[in-house]
Structure 1
Amino acid sequence: MSVTDRPDETTTAPRWTRYVAVGDSFSEGLWDDPDGRDAPQRGWADQLASHLSLRRTAAGLAPLEYANLAVRGRLLRPILRDQVPAALALEPDLVSVIGGGNDMLRPSVDVDGLADELERTVVRVRATGADVLLGTGFDVRDSPLVRATRARVAVYNTHVWSIARRHGAYVLDLWGMRSLADWRMWAEDRIHLTTDGHTRVAQAALVALGLPPERDDWDDPLAPLPPAPRRDRVLADARWLREHAYPWARRRLQGRSSGDRLRPKRPDPTPLV
């Protein structure tokens, strides 16, 4: 939803001509890999760009130009310091600045300090005339892995909404998405979204920008499944610890990131036809 008065986007083609996404694995689209793990990841930002471009071309306008500078593992400060200036050099009129999830995993994170830096960045982007799409964090109350971060995420979300109100930004409200409370929306690592999860977030992004979604059931909860047998849950937890939690903890101890030596998958704005 928009937090300021905006033109009625529901009856016109999207006005944006060049969209640049910055962020971490969420905006890179990690685990949304319909073409295989070795192909570039496709996520909600890519789907949003496609929707915007299709609506523009259907109205007889030029297709949207799109770049994605997000890289997995990035903390918020490097996103703001490195990716945002690179994004502004591309002269976009829409920039999504969504990050902070990796920061919230650290107990010593300075949430208020991060919010101050985010606000300065939003002011900088808005001064160019570009619109800004921010995003809240997920509600992690049902996640044994990151439930301890819930209070930090809630404080950060409050800052995001306040920043958006003060500077006329849009907000992708991930905390409020009911469908994301279902584990079927989450990948094997229990931190990133599945393809269906990314698809639903793309719909939420359209709504956040004041546009009608492609599907009315984008946030409907899934039909409940019967509880899994305890043995299956124990085996799944053990596999997750071995394949995901342990490698993540080892990288943390070694000061490494999953995104080390990775470059943005779509560094140049190109038309989406």
Structure 2
Amino acid sequence: MTSARDPEGPTAPRPADAPPGGPAAAGDPPRWSRYVAVGDSFTEGLWDAPDGEDAPLRGWADQLASHLSARRTAAGLPALEYANLAVRGRLMRPILTEQVPAARAMAPDLVSLVGGGNDILRPSVDVDRVAADLERAVARLRADGADVLLSTGFDARESPLVRTTRSRTGVFSAHVWSIARRHGAFVLDLWGMRSLLDWRMWAEDRIHLTTDGHARVAQAALVALGLPPDRPDWDDPLAPLPPVPRLERVRADAHWLREHAYPWATRRLRRRSSGDARVAKRPDPLPVD
């Protein structure tokens, strides 16, 4: 995971586009004081419910905010202020037209803008248009003076179903790197995370991450921001498991089709979303405890 900034490279952003300051030295507290996360179910934290299904969701962005805030308070600085406006099921256009303006109104100095996965699942998606819309939003946030954390898509080559979107995800991820280079943004490189190729990192629906998956992504986000991770094994692959018996695989696939694929397809046909009528879980920038 890395930043798209390279002050020594021949294609480095123009000074006017570069984020304020450079990568933090080891031990330096994070410079950001207000962080706003926008996006879809990935940033909302779907399936990361360590305190039970009835407890609030957490997710990688919440964990990133906790890491940043802890490092600030350890250095004697005020706690990080954090808001999370992400809502499951959102396409890129609503993220950019609804969540980004609300985020800009909060005057953050760090924004994570991660979306596009729900668009890419649709075969009719125009990936170039989605990327062009994303770039306009990044330009506005950068003009406000905020640092921006973008993200590539996941490499779904190990997924029997979602890997059909792999070529579209690859094109979108290439756009993300180019946008970051032009505007001096940071990039969370999910595509390159080896640990996420293991299906033990994925929840029952085979689209969202488990608690351990979200924790590893939070560590990758620290690295993307130029900060040292808290756990050195954040991207180490897991030890391989023995092969799963065929009957067990068939039963697991049948359960997935009944409990997850069919309801998702039904919502699509009805032009509904799992996030309809839902609101942001943390709509105001409050200090992180």
SS at match of 2:35: strand
Indicate the residue corresponding to 1:22 in structure 2. Answer: 38
Instruction: Give the aligned length.
Output: 273
Output the amino acid matched with 2:106: L
By how many angstroms is 1:35 displaced? 1.5
Distance 1:127 1:8 in 2: 20
The answer for unaligned runs of 5 or more in structure 2 is 8-20
Pairing 1:44-123 to 2, within 5 Å after superposition: 44-123=60-139
Q: Could you list the per-position Cα deviations for residues 146-186 of structure 1 after superposition, in whole angstroms to 9, with x for gaps in the alignment?
A: 11100000000000000000000000000000000000000
Counterpart of 1:139?
A: 155
Runs of 4+ in 1 over 2 A off after TM superposition: none
Name which of 170, 175, 185 aligns with 1:169.
185
In 1, Cα distance between equivalents of 2:255 and 2:95: 32
Residue 145 of structure 2 corresponds to 129
Report whether the alignment pairs 1:9 with 2:24: yes
CA distance in structure 1 between the aligned counterparts of 2:288 and 2:263, rounded to whole angstroms: 36
Distance in 2 (alpha carbons) for counterparts of 1:272 and 1:240? 36
Match of 1:258 in 2: 274
In 2, the alpha carbon distance for the partners of 1:267 and 1:85 equals: 13
2: CA distance between counterparts of 1:107 and 1:89? 34
CA contact (8 A) 2:83 2:283 kept: yes
- Cα distance between partner residues in 2 of 1:124 and 1:7: 21
State the Cα deviation string for residues 25-76 of structure 1 (Å, max 9, x = none): 0000000001122222100000000000000000010010000000000001
State the secondary structure of the residue aligned to 2:46: coil
| Coordinate RMSD, CA, aligned | 0.7
User: Aligned match of 1:202 in 215, 218, 226?
Assistant: 218
Contact 2:38 2:112 in 1 (8 A): yes
Partner secondary structure for residue 267 of structure 1: strand
Deviations 1:2-28 (A, max 9, x none): 111452313311000000000000000
Which residue number in structure 1 is paired with residue 285 of structure 2?
269
Which SS does the other structure have where 1:132 is aligned?
Answer: strand
